[in-house]
Structure 1
Amino acid sequence: MIDNLFQPYALNDSLSLNNRILMAPLTRCMADDELVPTQAMAEYYARRAEAGLIISEATIIRPDAQGYPNTPGLFTQAQIAGWRLVTDAVHQNGGKIFAQLWHTGRVAHPHFFGGGDVLAPSAVGVEGSVPRMRELTYVTPKAVTHEDMAQLVQDYAQAAANAIDAGFDGVEIHGANGYLVDEFLHYDSNRREDEYGGSPEKMARFPLEVVDAVIARIGGDRTGLRISPAAYFNMATDGRDRAVFDYLLPQLEQRQLAFLHIGIFDDSMEFAYLDGRVSDYVRANYGNTLVGVGSYTAQSANDAIGADRFDLIAIGRPFIANPDYVAKVRSGADLVEYADSMLTSLV
């Protein structure tokens, strides 16, 4: 039985979901060369509108946020108009969709924005090269100034307003997976000695400034956040990071977000400094709506929701392979297995 997945869920007084299955954000690199969403993208998302909520692929808030080819933006009128095609198509099919707001931080690359600085909390680079463009190796970032951070906060808020103008039902701030907001929350990437680093309260300052600015612009009822307390991407593990999230989670709970979304690829992983799974750690320290994710099947997600481990489930790769994922799960039909070859087109 998977009845838990098909119960409606009220995020708040403004937004209710038809079921508890979310389409997770999935980077597809299929926007045009001006980072404008295409008609093919509109059709792709519309086919998945039976999800309780779609979270869009990560969408950059300004040119220097780009770290992958052909990722869509939300900072030009053409991009806003392109996203309007997407949101209209989703709404016409009865769905709801949030935009995921993204700055890639120290894994951005000047190739994409005509040169200039890569921005990060500290001037600490990562090894490796840009996915899908292996000839581009990462560069050492510039530690952001206070002026840089103030502008970034404004740009997150403006991108959120642009998302509402584009017809999105809300936004999810990408504060996970080793990108800019997340880089402030980890000792490996944040080595600052000013009021933005060195202690949990200081390390959480910039992320909370971003959250507060977005809430002030579009409302907490339309603002979600994704976080990664563990299973880091492009950064080293540090047990001191727990204290940062011990501080951050109660702060977020006070802000009455639409939801908090865990950023992890496999939620069966356990971490000694979190005393187990990431989702269990967050649930113990955050009392509002929580979205689980990370290699769940429909049955295991249903069971986890039934056990009150989280409230909603985000499904990723199975949605790439099965545009009708929700209908198939409801009817018990077999799912098409995901394969990396599916990334070459939007189906």
Structure 2
Amino acid sequence: MTTLFSSYRLGALTLPNRVVMAPMSRVRAAAGGLATPSMAAYYAQRATAGLIVSEGVQPNAVGQSNPGTPGLHTDEQTDSWREVTGAVHASGGRIFAQLMHGGRVSHPDTTGLRPIGPSAVAAAGDVFTPTGPQPAPVPRALETAEVPEQARSYAEAARRAVEAGFDGVELHGANGYLISQFLSSNANLRTDRYGGPVTHRIRFAVEAAAATVEAVGGDRTGIRLSPGADFWGVRDTDVPELYTQLLAELARVGVGYVHLEATADEEVLVALRRAWPGPLIMNPVLPMGPKQTGRDDADRWLDLGADLISFGRAFLSNPDLVERLRARLPIAPADETAYYQGGDAGYLTYTSHQYTA
């Protein structure tokens, strides 16, 4: 019988269990977007996960969303990640890099550059900057001839990721960032081949995925999606049609897995599971919602057809989460004030469950 603790073959990797550490921003990178020794220790502590997906990593300079996030577009950044991947592998783990282009969810005070997007439509709400939250600026709409360059940035970063020792990459196509903006019906007001009907709105995601598959192979390429979500003011229409067509194209170009968030009705998500012929990672609860994913949520989605289950916040304060889930031990709460504060407190200071006689 398949359980959360059964092994699973994902491409060339044999995962010892079906627990995935979801990507979560921790904004602990050093100046210049460099990975640090503390980041190596943080991920190594959680290496009992079947698969770790890293925090969002910007594939180019204009793609940086938040201050303090790491990159994979310079030689120095690439070199800095080797300590992280080496530490995870030495601890018996496997790690993919999540490639996250913020698109319009950025600010010139963070990057020194005007944000870009499919259209000149600002994100909803404030964005993080080095001096605190500020209203999201209106991005510069990409010219048609510029769009392929941004799609290729994922592939170029993927090559660097593999060079740095990552086992693969996950394209961040969710939560209102650049790929999600192109999929959207209100952030993408284009009238060229990248906007308008569903077949055009999925084009950027497919081109980014196809370039990445060509660069590093389908087994090393995944994508995260949030059907019907409303993050940063991004909204989708025609969700079943949009994502069914997208999944068909992703299968055609050879993407290795899809990582779905529970941002649509269960009926829609189950239909997308049936439409996707490859491995599916499911995040069973709404990201940043009131509930954390638990053992019962995981078991339910394994029964519904998911192959792997991703856990987010529970991994922050429980580096031994796999064992806690296996033994149904208490899940320690995380200190929300430490999510983005920097430093090792609330980052490396959580311990494994302490058994008492």
* Fold-level similarity (TM above 0.5): yes
- Which residue is 1:153 aligned to? 151
> Which of 272, 283, 294 in structure 2 is aligned with 1:282?
272
Q: Distance in 1 between matches of 2:264 and 2:238?
A: 16
> Which of 291, 295, 318 in structure 1 is aligned with 2:314?
318
Structure 1 position 124 matched with structure 2 position 118: no
Letter in 2 for 1:292: M
Q: Distance in 1 between matches of 2:172 and 2:231?
A: 13
Answer yes or no: is the 8 Å Cα contact 1:200–1:245 preserved in 2.
no
> Which of 171, 176, 179 in structure 1 is aligned with 2:177?
179
Structure 1 position 330 matched with structure 2 position 326: yes
Matched position secondary structure for 1:6: coil
| 1:178-197 mapped onto 2 (5 Å cutoff) | 178-197=176-195
Q: Distance in 1 between matches of 2:14 and 2:169?
A: 15
Deviation at 1:143, TM superposition (A): 1.1
Letter in 1 for 2:109: H
Q: Distance in 2 between matches of 1:283 and 1:154?
A: 28
- Which residue is 2:251 aligned to? 253
> Which of 141, 165, 168 in structure 1 is aligned with 2:166?
168
Structure 1 position 210 matched with structure 2 position 211: no
Q: Distance in 2 between matches of 1:254 and 1:226?
A: 17
Letter in 1 for 2:47: A
Letter in 2 for 1:284: R
Answer yes or no: is the 8 Å Cα contact 1:105–1:119 preserved in 2.
yes
Q: Distance in 2 between matches of 1:237 and 1:155?
A: 24
How big is the alpha-carbon RMSD for the aligned residues of Structure 1 and Structure 2? 1.8
Q: Deviations over 1:68-117 (max 9, x none)?
A: 11000001111111111000000000000000001001111111222x33
Matched position secondary structure for 1:45: helix
Residues 236 and 217 of structure 1: CA distance in aligned 2, closer, same or farther (over 3 Å): closer
Which runs of 5 or more structure 2 residues have no equivalent in the other structure?
A: 286-291, 349-357
Q: Distance in 1 between matches of 2:138 and 2:127?
A: 14
Answer yes or no: is the 8 Å Cα contact 2:116–2:139 preserved in 1.
yes
Residues 232 and 323 of structure 1: CA distance in aligned 2, closer, same or farther (over 3 Å): same
Q: Distance in 1 between matches of 2:252 and 2:185?
A: 24
- Which residue is 2:58 aligned to? 60
- Which residue is 1:291 aligned to? 281
Which runs of 5 or more structure 1 residues have no equivalent in the other structure?
A: none
Matched position secondary structure for 2:96: strand
Q: Distance in 2 between matches of 1:237 and 1:185?
A: 9
Letter in 1 for 2:119: S
Q: Deviations over 1:222-266 (max 9, x none)?
A: 000011112220125453343222211111223332210013xxx
Q: Distance in 1 between matches of 2:329 and 2:17?
A: 18
Answer yes or no: is the 8 Å Cα contact 2:62–2:111 preserved in 1.
yes
Answer yes or no: is the 8 Å Cα contact 1:99–1:170 preserved in 2.
yes
Matched position secondary structure for 1:106: coil
Structure 1 position 227 matched with structure 2 position 225: yes
Answer yes or no: is the 8 Å Cα contact 2:118–2:189 preserved in 1.
yes
Answer yes or no: is the 8 Å Cα contact 2:251–2:277 preserved in 1.
yes
Tell me the TM-score normalized by structure 2.
0.89
Letter in 2 for 1:338: A
Answer yes or no: is the 8 Å Cα contact 2:65–2:105 preserved in 1.
yes
Q: Distance in 2 between matches of 1:220 and 1:28?
A: 28
Q: Distance in 1 between matches of 2:307 and 2:202?
A: 25
Q: Distance in 2 between matches of 1:280 and 1:158?
A: 33
Answer yes or no: is the 8 Å Cα contact 2:185–2:237 preserved in 1.
no
Answer yes or no: is the 8 Å Cα contact 2:183–2:236 preserved in 1.
no
Matched position secondary structure for 1:5: coil
Q: Distance in 1 between matches of 2:132 and 2:252?
A: 42
Residues 245 and 303 of structure 1: CA distance in aligned 2, closer, same or farther (over 3 Å): closer
Q: Distance in 2 between matches of 1:150 and 1:270?
A: 29
Letter in 1 for 2:296: Q
The percentage of counterpart residues that share the same residue type is 38
> Which of 199, 202, 224 in structure 2 is aligned with 1:201?
199
Residues 262 and 216 of structure 1: CA distance in aligned 2, closer, same or farther (over 3 Å): same
> Which of 300, 320, 326 in structure 2 is aligned with 1:303?
300
Answer yes or no: is the 8 Å Cα contact 2:120–2:138 preserved in 1.
yes
